[in-house]
Structure 1
Amino acid sequence: MPIYSSDSDNETMPRTKLFGRQRPIRSVLGGGQVADVLLWENKGVSAALSIGMTILWFLFEVAEYSFVTLFCHISITAMLVVFIWCTSAEIFNWTPPEMPTSILDKSTFHEFASTFHERFNQALSSFVDIACGKQPALFFAAIFCLYILSVIGNYFTFLNILYLCFVCLQTLPFLYNKYEDKVERYAGELTREVKKMFRRMNSNVLSKIPRGPVKEKKAR
C-alpha cells in the first residue's frame, strides 16, 4: 500500500522562501534607487513613473499617436511654454525661470545600467543552463511558457505586453514585500499539495507501468 506523508508532517516542514530565495527582496532587486522605485519607497518617483508610462501607453495605443508625431508635439508645446514664460518675465519684470541643466544624476543611469547588465547576464546564464538540459523540468516548463507567450502575442501588441510587464514590475514586488508572510504561507501550501499529488500519481500510476526485465551485461 502506498504510504503518504501526513498533513502534520507537512506542516512541520521548514518554510522556505519563494523560488528558493535566500536574500531579502530588496537585495534581489539590486538595492539602491532601482529597488526604491520598484518597492515604492520613493513614492514620488514611483508615482511619476507610473503616471508617465500610463500616459505614453494611452497616447500610443488608444489615441494611436506615432512616435515622431508625439515627440514633435511635445517639443512644440514645451518650447511654447518656455517662450511665453521667458517673455512674460521680461515684460512684467518677473524672476526668469531657472532651467535645470540635468534632470537625473549620472549615478542614477550608471546604477540602472549596472543592475540591468547584472540581471541580463543572470537571465542569459539561466537560459543557457536550461537549454543544455541540466534541469529537464525547467526545460519543458520554459518551452511551455514561451509557447503561451507566443499565443498571447497574436492578440496583444508589443506595446501592450511591454506596458503589462511594467505594471507587474511596479506592483508585484511591492505587494510581495508587503504581504511576504502570507504569500510564503500560501505558496508553501500549494507546493506541498503539488508534491503530494505527484507522489500519489507516481505510486498509483507510474509505478504500476510494466517494465521489461533489465538485461545484465555479460562479463567478458
Structure 2
Amino acid sequence: MATDESIHKLLDGGRAADILLWKDRNLSAVVLAGATLIWFLFEVVEYNIIPLVCQIAALAMLVIFIWSNAAPLLNIAPPRIPEVIISEHAFRQIAQIIHYKLAHTVSALYDIACGKDLKKFLLVVVSLLILSEIGSSYSFTSLLYLGFLCAHTLPALYQRYEIEVDHLAARGSEDIKRFYKRIDSNFLNKIPRGPVKTKVK
C-alpha cells in the first residue's frame, strides 16, 4: 500500500504533483476550470486556434494601449510586460527527455511486436484497437480533455480510496489471469509454431 508521500514522489513531486493531488484546492480548481473553458471553446463553441489567439492578442494590445495612454492622466504606473526567457539549456533538456521517452517506447513496442511475450503482445494489440475505436468516436480535443481530466482527478481519488482500489485491482488482475489461461489452453496453445532456435554462445 502506497503512502501519500510515495504517490507524491511517483508524480515527480513539486508543484505539479500538488495540483494533481489537490493539495492546493484553489489552484487545482482554477487549472480544472481553465482546461474546461479551453475544451468548451474549441469543442462546443468550435473556435479555431488562430482566430482565438489573434482575438486574445488584439484584446491584450487594446488594454495595454488604453492603460499606457491613461497612466499619465490618472497618475498610475504604465504596464510592464514581464520578460519570459527560456534558456537554450531548458530547450535541450526538454528535447532530450522527449527523445529518451520516444526511443524507449519504440524499443519496447519493437520487443513486444517480435512476439517474445505473447500475453503482452495480445494486450498491446487489443489496447491499440480499443484506442483506435475511441479515437474514431471522439474528437482529438475531447480526448485531450478526457486525458487531462483523468490525470487531474484519478491520483487524488486513488489517494483517498487507496485500499478499495487496490482490492478491486487485485480481483480484476486475478480475473484477467484466469481468462488468459482459458484462452491460452483452448486457443493459443493449438496454434502451430516452428522449432525454437537456441543461440550458440
Match of 1:133 among 103, 115, 119: 115
Deviations 1:55-104 (CA, angstroms, capped at 9, x unpaired): 222111111111111111010111111222222222111233343223x9
Match of 1:38 among 9, 15, 20: 20
Superposed, 1:128-207 pairs within 5 Å as 128-195=110-177, 201=182, 206=186
Label 1:27 to 1:136 Cα distance change in 2 as closer, same or farther (>3 A): farther
Aligned match of 2:58: 76
Letter in 2 for 1:190: G
Partner of 2:77: helix, strand, or coil?
coil
RMSD: 3.5
Label 1:183 to 1:144 Cα distance change in 2 as closer, same or farther (>3 A): same
Partner of 2:144: helix, strand, or coil?
helix
Q: Which runs of 5+ in 1 are unaligned?
A: 1-15, 18-22, 211-220
Label 1:92 to 1:197 Cα distance change in 2 as closer, same or farther (>3 A): closer
Label 1:194 to 1:131 Cα distance change in 2 as closer, same or farther (>3 A): closer
How far off its partner does 1:140 sit? 0.8
TM-score (normalizing by structure 1): 0.66
Partner of 2:137: helix, strand, or coil?
coil
Aligned match of 1:62: 44
Distance of 2:162 and 2:107 partners within structure 1: 27
How far off its partner does 1:196 sit? 5.3
How many residue pairs are counted as aligned between the two chains?
A: 183
TM-score (normalizing by structure 2): 0.71
Label 1:55 to 1:198 Cα distance change in 2 as closer, same or farther (>3 A): closer
Q: Is the 8 A contact 1:57 1:159 kept in 2?
A: yes
Q: Is the 8 A contact 1:30 1:115 kept in 2?
A: no
Label 1:115 to 1:178 Cα distance change in 2 as closer, same or farther (>3 A): farther
Aligned match of 2:198: none
Letter in 2 for 1:88: A
Deviations 1:3-60 (CA, angstroms, capped at 9, x unpaired): xxxxxxxxxxxxx88xxxxx93333333333333333335455333322222222111
Distance of 1:156 and 1:53 partners within structure 2: 17
Label 1:46 to 1:135 Cα distance change in 2 as closer, same or farther (>3 A): farther
Q: Which has the larger radius of gyration?
A: 1
How far off its partner does 1:157 sit? 1.3
Aligned match of 1:47: 29
Distance of 1:40 and 1:29 partners within structure 2: 13
Deviations 1:141-170 (CA, angstroms, capped at 9, x unpaired): 111111122122222111111111111111
- Percent identity of the aligned residues? 37
